[in-house]
Amino acid sequence: MRSMSTNKTRTIVTSAAALAVTAGLAVTTAGAASAATLPTKPLPRAAAGSVELGNPLQYETFLALQGARNHHHGEVDYTNWTYAEPGSGVWAPAEGSPGVSSPLQLVFTYQGTQYAHTLNGGLKLTALSPEKLAFSGSGAYNGGGITWKINGQVVGGKVSATIAYNGQSYKVYLTGKVAKDGSVSGTARSSTGQALTFTLPAGSFASVLHYIAPVKSAQVKGHDATFRFTIPASVPGLAGTKVTVKVHDGGFGARHDTYAEGITGTTLSPYPIIGGPGITVR
């Protein structure tokens, strides 16, 4: 919406300047009056949202425009953090997936010696955007039974996390990249300045469903909006599926907003909004 408003303002200013040149740069006040009376078209009604959805964990941002120019009605950026899509470029911890053992072995190497850690299952996942996921959980150092807590994020194919050892001030800060097989490798630094490397085995992370799709149509009325899009051809198994979304702006914040979606022509399923700024319809 902001960019459309800026473009409209620039168009008005440019038109006013052209009129002034054509008129031979007539009186400045007359030029200003001409600019003030130039006809403008009202901005289209719009619905915008950024919501974390539950059951299953999803995140969607969208802009849906009613009556937009050039048949462009906005865009949807969507991720389902529990539905696999190889090659999507968006990753999530894969614990519990077929063929993936949980807990996982997280191995640090320091000066040629390996220090094996166990990352427990049951990670808590929080979607922060369609490309960004936070996770937290617990684990233990295999060599001495020392337990720890982990808090991290995965953004695209990059993983960062902090491990804090219980009952100690010692922490390890790690950053790494996810490989095509779901393994992770990278570097780490301890709170005492030690330089380490680390690995997680293949299958530790899974590529999940993600796509960006143009909105085909939108209807906005009052505090409600309905818009439709088609899942792009790049998504195996779902390509060409027509989707309808219905949203409601319940006021300040996301607490009273609602979101429902489904295959076009079927009953739409409501999904709880569990995070994100919420939905605005205007």
Q: For the segment 188-200, what is each residue's pLDDT rounded down to a tens digit? A: 999 999 999 999 9
Contacts of 48 (CB under 8 A, 6+ apart): 1, 62, 63, 64, 279, 280
Residue 20 sits in the same domain as residue 38: yes
- Clarify whether residues 162 and 230 are in a common domain: no
Q: State residue 36's pLDDT score.
A: 55
114 pLDDT higher than 80? yes
Do 105 and 197 lie in one domain? The reply is yes
Are residues 186 and 119 part of one domain? yes
Please tell me whether residues 169 and 199 are part of one structural domain. yes
Tokens read off for 41? 């078209």
The verdict on 155 and 241 lying in the same domain is: no
Res. 7: pLDDT tops 50? no
pLDDT(3) > 70? no
AA letter at 246: K
Domain edge (last residue) among 147, 169, 203: 203
Q: Which of 164, 182, 203 is the last residue of a domain?
A: 203
Q: Is pLDDT above 80 for 276?
A: yes
Q: Same domain, yes or no, for 158 and 211?
A: no
Q: pTM, whole model, 2 decimals?
A: 0.82
pLDDT at 70: 58
Q: What is the mean pLDDT of residues 26-37?
A: 44
> Do 178 and 252 reside in the same domain of the chain?
no
Band the pLDDT of 95: cuts 50, 70, 90: low
190 and 109 part of one domain: yes
Asked whether 225 and 210 are in contact (CB, 8 A), the reply is no
Closest CA to 66 of 228, 261, 211: 228
Whether 155 shows a pLDDT value over 80: the answer reads: yes
pLDDT at 26 > cutoff 90 = no
pLDDT exceeding 90 applies to what percent of the chain? Answer: 76
Q: In the structure, what pLDDT confidence band is assigned to residue 85 with cuts at 50, 70 and 90?
A: very high
Look up the domain containing 280 and give its range. 45-94+205-282
Does residue 250 share a domain with residue 209? yes
Query: Which residue, of 179, 203, 227, is where some domain finishes?
Result: 203
Average pLDDT score, the chain: 86
Give the C-alpha separation, 259 to 219, whole Å. 15
The verdict on 77 and 129 lying in the same domain is: no
Please tell me whether residues 123 and 191 are part of one structural domain. yes
Is residue 76 within 8 A of residue 62, CB to CB? The reply is yes
Q: What percent of the chain has pLDDT over 70?
A: 80
Has residue 123 got a pLDDT over 70?
yes
Total of domains in the chain: 3
